[in-house]
Amino acid sequence: MKVVVLTGAGISAESGVPTFRDADGLWEGHRVEDVATPEAYEAAPSVVQAFYDARRAALSAVDPNPAHDALARLGEVLGDDLLLVTQNIDDLHERAGSPSVLHMHGELLAAWCTACGRRVRWAGALGDQPPCPGCAAPALRPDVVWFGEVPYEMDRIVDALVEADLFVSVGTSGAVYPAAGFVQQARAYGARTLELNLQPSEGSRWFHESRQGPAGLLVPEWVA
């Protein structure tokens, strides 16, 4: 059985990672949509770097929750028959033990150099413009996909949606594309579709089944 699981900020909420839209999507008065863009980075790089430096620093204070743990167990059982795609840029799936995670919106713990294009693992702050390990230019930005930028590995995701027998969405509002459209694609290709979310989302109507509740309860229950 081939399964695609898509996770969003809601799966990390019980770990203490704030979601985008529960707190009105605000960060220190900024709308996320206004900070997570290339234009914002161009106009006010220190504000955008501070946004990501704060979130990167907060990662060490949070831990995976039972929802991440259950998906890690599922990955051990299904192996290559599971594609775990996350919109999240935290590393909680990896720390729970998921063997393979596709970060379609990039990762907080990665940076890329706008001078030489090199992508590097990065755990520290970027706001103080550290030199790129490759070309030494002070040109490192967060390796995350901003609004208006192209998500990573879209071909691999679409190929998996075509093959999927089951598509499960966990903890996402269905507000951001192309991720929000995956359920319709999976359904069109014949997959069963299941939504596990705290409340109905903008995409609930596209799912064969939608269960409401905290991911920390619903995901282990589903995986069992």
The distance of closest approach from Cβ of residue 112 to ligand BV8 in the complex, given in angstroms and rounded to an integer, is: 14
Sign of CA dihedral 150, 153, 155, 157: negative
Tell me if residue 207 falls in helix, strand or coil.
Answer: coil
Asked if 212 is part of the footprint of ligand BV8 (rule: CB under 6 A), the reply reads no
The distance of closest approach from Cβ of residue 32 to ligand BV8 in the complex, given in angstroms and rounded to an integer, is: 6
Q: Which is nearer to ligand BV8, 131 or 199 (CB)?
A: 199
Distance CA 115, CA 99 (A): 32
**Parallel, antiparallel, or unpaired for β 26-27 and 30-31?**
antiparallel
Distance CA 103, CA 138 (A): 25
Q: Which is nearer to ligand BV8, 75 or 174 (CB)?
A: 174
Residue 60 is labelled as binding a ligand: no
DSSP string, 137-161: -S-EEEEE--TTSPPTTHHHHHHHH
Asked if 155 is part of the footprint of ligand BV8 (rule: CB under 6 A), the reply reads no
Rounded to 10°, the helix 66-78/215-223 angle is 20
Retrieve residue 64's tokens: 């995976």
Sites for ligand BV8 among residues 46-105 (CB under 6 A): 87, 89, 105
The one among 3, 5, 6, 9 contacting ligand BV8 by CB under 6 A: 9
Sign of CA dihedral 173, 179, 11, 221: positive
Asked if 126 is part of the footprint of ligand BV8 (rule: CB under 6 A), the reply reads no
Enzyme catalytic residues:
105
Residue 23 is labelled as binding a ligand: yes
Q: How many residues bind to ligand BV8 according to rule CB under 6 A?
A: 37
The distance of closest approach from Cβ of residue 76 to ligand BV8 in the complex, given in angstroms and rounded to an integer, is: 22
Asked if 144 is part of the footprint of ligand BV8 (rule: CB under 6 A), the reply reads yes
The one among 118, 175, 187, 220 contacting ligand BV8 by CB under 6 A: 175
Q: Which is nearer to ligand BV8, 89 or 132 (CB)?
A: 89
Residue 139 is labelled as binding a ligand: no
Distance CA 48, CA 41 (A): 6
Residue 134 is labelled as binding a ligand: no
Q: Which is nearer to ligand BV8, 80 or 154 (CB)?
A: 154
- Chain centroid to CA 49: how far? 19
